[in-house]
Structure 1
Amino acid sequence: MAHTSSPPTEAVQSLSNGVTVLTQKPPVLSVRKGETATMDCNLGTVTSTVYWYKQIPGGVPQFVLYFHYSSSSPTYGSGFSAPKFTSTHQSTKDYRLIISNVEEGDSAVYYCETWDSSAVSHKYFLTDHKTTEIFLPPPVLTVFPPSSAELQSNTASLVCLSSQSVPFADVSWLAAGSPVSSGISTSTAVQRPDQTYQISSSLTIQTSDWNMDKVYTCKVSLGSQTSEKTIKKSECPTE
């Protein structure tokens, strides 16, 4: 599936000692629930074992599995197993992580890593690249108007709540159809018991603009998918 972000064609981490470069791709992978996600890691000059890690926002990396081209099957970390997770190799340096029957809890950042057997004191990481993003049905958006107490001052706040979302959703605001660049405060994604995420974003507005019935839009983007919810004074119930 296409996505709206513009990442580099490859996610590359160059290592300071110049021994090897790990290449992981694609940098963003958008799949739907129930589908299969695959991502590749090239170990550069190293012929060794690949290690895969998973990290959700605000959490620590979890060891998924390690796999060597000479092995018949991967070795798994706690909580991970076949057939949900597996790994294959295309060569002694090219490995693939496969996640079957993708579900909400699989949405995360995945890292590949290896050891250089010629210098075991060095551990090589590929970091800071999002490689799997799980697409769900569009999030549920709710926009709350300013309180009556707020409207007694010169400024007030609109609050947009995005529920049943994924952690990498981008929230933005429009005022009368034009993008807003200031006065926005967006929370980090909070995981819910159903494994989806909730994101809250507030926009500070001028009370005079609200009273003039200006239209405000909360926009949530998930790759190529976009959900919007508008609000204006005349459409809000009076207290």
Structure 2
Amino acid sequence: MEDNYTLILVDVPMIEERNDKDWYGTIPLGIIVTDKMIFTVCLEDTQVLTRFMEGRVRNFFTYMKTRFILQILYRNSSMYLRYLRIIDKKSEQVEEKLHFSPRNQELIELLELEKSLVYFTTSLRSNEAVLEKLIKLESIKKYPEDTELLEDVIIENTQAIEMANIYSGILQSMMDAFASVISNNLNDVMKILSVITIVMSIPTIIFSAYGMNLAPSGMPFSSTIWGFLIVILVSIAASIIAALFLSKKKYF
């Protein structure tokens, strides 16, 4: 507050498009109040003010400056709640995809949603400090209707904070759970590949021994015409025994 104007600075939610998908963030909105006029300053067009410009807000009058400011803040908190519900629905859709096939793309989407929730939580807490300071202003206390509206704004903002915290916790738990699932799947694949390597190494060792340049008289089954078939059967039998042993130990 200065001598002839008051500056109210809050964070408003926004949608930004990246890789043909909508993600959520926040940008600051400045409300400058003078004796005769109200200025709103924002880096981008925001849907918080769209309904006012379209005349779709009831009991909206620019000459009622305090009520107008509180209506903007109420609309801002409502937008947070709306975007939080959209984020929750998106996370449920991604979760359904992950149940069928955990991929990096879905995990990246969850990470983006988690980042949006972090932005929302931080901005909502900053807005909460602004609202607490507003309730101490004498200009608002003069009008009981405005005081009630400010209390509604505070309740709406508090509800948005709680929803953001709940969704953030659920999303973090979901990411940790699927990260564990992916890690377990990888461990299972590596275990199966290790078992296959062990089973297949037995015939390799036997055939490698017979492939060495040694005298035929010193090699088992070299004197019979069924020697090659016997060696193959012995290798298969040894592999089956090894596979049964590993299966009994529940390695796969």
Shorter-chain TM-score range: under 0.3
TM-score by length of 2: 0.24
Flag the structure with larger Rg: 2
Structure number with higher strand proportion: 1
TM-score by length of 1: 0.25
Structure number with higher helix proportion: 2
